[in-house]
Amino acid sequence: MNQTKTTPAKIQRRPWNDPRVRSLAFQVIAIFAVGWAGWTLFQNTLSNMESRGISTGFGFLDESAGFGIIMSLIPYDATMSYGRTFWVGLLNTLLVSAMGIIAATIIGFLVGIARLSSNWLVAKLALVYVETLRNLPLLLQIFFWYFAVLRSLPSPRQSVDVGGVFFLNNRGLYTPEPLTEPGFGWVMAAFAAAIMIVIAITRWSRKRQIRTGQLFPTFRVNLAILIVLPMLAYFATGAPLQWEIPELTGFNFSGGITIIPELAALWVALSLYTASFIAEIVRSGILAVSGGQTEAAKALGLRSNLIMRLVVIPQAMRVIIPPLTSQYLNLVKNSSLATAIGYPDLVGVFMGTTLNQTGQAVEVVAMTMAVYLTISLSISLLMNIYNRSVALQER
């Protein structure tokens, strides 16, 4: 008696039994569900705002702001628009974030390496730094640097004078301001050329080392090029750079560059706090490198600093980069705590004062969220590109 059997091949021909088809179907359903939920929320928000007589749109960005900002990287006064306040807050946020990332990275790497030092005192001091700062709330540290340290400095008339060019008081740090003159563009061109030469020499020295095994004094040569070439252009063009020294006029200083205490307190707190986490990331990355690598390098006669720079750190970076990216993202988002001490970042200026004066909550919050999302995605993209460049390449 003949019986018809269903073969696996026939079952696989049914679309729903194909994992790829099911996966695509679930993704399409999820996208439609999220889109429908977002559209419903958007329509409900517009309906509620209309019933309360609240106008919508971005026309408010062209209206006069009518309030001042204590620090701006671009020209600004109270007669300018709300759109201008957005750019002022954005640039201030980018400034403190970039400064914090650079400082936290340097401090974190130094402390992380110090945690593994053979010197007992150095290792214990690094341990105390890490365990103390990372276990204290960041907001508390910001308050400490702002109120307990910087606000307790003397008044402008009793400023701390450093060489007659730097002045520190409770209103900030006053430094000389560079004033460029015609011909300075040649100096910048020379500096750009020096950077290109440095990159070329670095690549050549690496290929030479791989081919011959000989080390080239790359650091000293590159440093000399970066200093000498722009200096030659500087003197050849008649020194087209002058310095404006701050001067005490009345009750405050005028001229020069002013680093307000709000910026200094936020920068120091963000840098030291984030560096305590980066230090542990660096320490774990170094410990992830096999001890045999260090022993082999010592057997070849390499000094300790060369072993760390040429053998250990390049391998540890593959472990360090992913969690390091998270710390960079945290630092950028933590910069929004600037509102607590009055630093005019994007949250304080745009989502604070501008929102309160215009009432355009949806537009202001959406723009602020979009900015932080864009910054975070940009940092992740750059770090992922760098991560791929140091990843092991399969042969």
Alpha-carbon span 69 to 42, nearest angstrom: 33
Mean pLDDT of the chain: 88
Least confident range from 52-56, 274-278, 294-298: namely: 52-56
Residue 213 structure tokens? 């095994």
**Of all residues in the chain, what percent carry a pLDDT higher than 70?**
94
What is the pLDDT, as a whole number, of residue 338?
A: 93
Residue 351 structure tokens? 């989502």
For 288-297, what is the mean pLDDT?
83
Residue 227 structure tokens? 């200093």
What is the pLDDT, as a whole number, of residue 298?
A: 82
Confidence of residue 394 (pLDDT cuts 50, 70, 90): low
Nearest residue to 159 (alpha-carbon basis) of 146, 148, 168: 168
Cα–Cα distances in Å, from 228 out to 112, 124, 187, 234? 34, 41, 11, 10
Please name the residue ranges forming H helices in the chain. 8-12, 19-51, 82-114, 120-133, 138-143, 184-212, 218-236, 261-287, 291-299, 304-306, 313-334, 346-348, 355-358, 361-390
Contact by Cβ (8 Å): 99, 91: no
With a cut of 60, say whether residue 5 has pLDDT above it: no
Predicted confidence (pLDDT) per residue in 30-84, tens digit: 999 998 998 888 788 777 777 777 677 788 899 999 999 999 999 999 999 999 9
Confidence of residue 208 (pLDDT cuts 50, 70, 90): confident
Confidence of residue 3 (pLDDT cuts 50, 70, 90): low
Residue 316 structure tokens? 């540890």
What is the pLDDT, as a whole number, of residue 128?
A: 96
Predicted confidence (pLDDT) per residue in 334-347, tens digit: 999 999 999 999 99
What is the pLDDT, as a whole number, of residue 8?
A: 52
Residue 292 structure tokens? 């045999």
What is the pLDDT, as a whole number, of residue 20?
A: 80
What is the pLDDT, as a whole number, of residue 13?
A: 59
Q: Pick the more confident residue, 298 or 62.
A: 62
pTM score: 0.84
Least confident range from 27-31, 55-59, 91-95, 360-364: namely: 55-59
Confidence of residue 279 (pLDDT cuts 50, 70, 90): very high
Contact by Cβ (8 Å): 246, 167: yes
Nearest residue to 338 (alpha-carbon basis) of 77, 92, 103: 92
Number of CB atoms found within 10 A of residue 224's CB: 12
Q: Pick the more confident residue, 258 or 46.
A: 258
Cα–Cα distances in Å, from 194 out to 131, 251, 308? 42, 44, 28
Predicted confidence (pLDDT) per residue in 312-334, tens digit: 888 888 889 999 999 999 999 99
Predicted confidence (pLDDT) per residue in 128-159, tens digit: 999 999 999 999 999 999 999 998 889 888 88
Predicted confidence (pLDDT) per residue in 179-191, tens digit: 888 889 999 999 9
Q: Mind giving me the DSSP string for 77-132?
A: -TTSBHHHHHHHHHHHHHHHHHHHHHHHHHHHHHHHHHTT-SSHHHHHHHHHHHHH
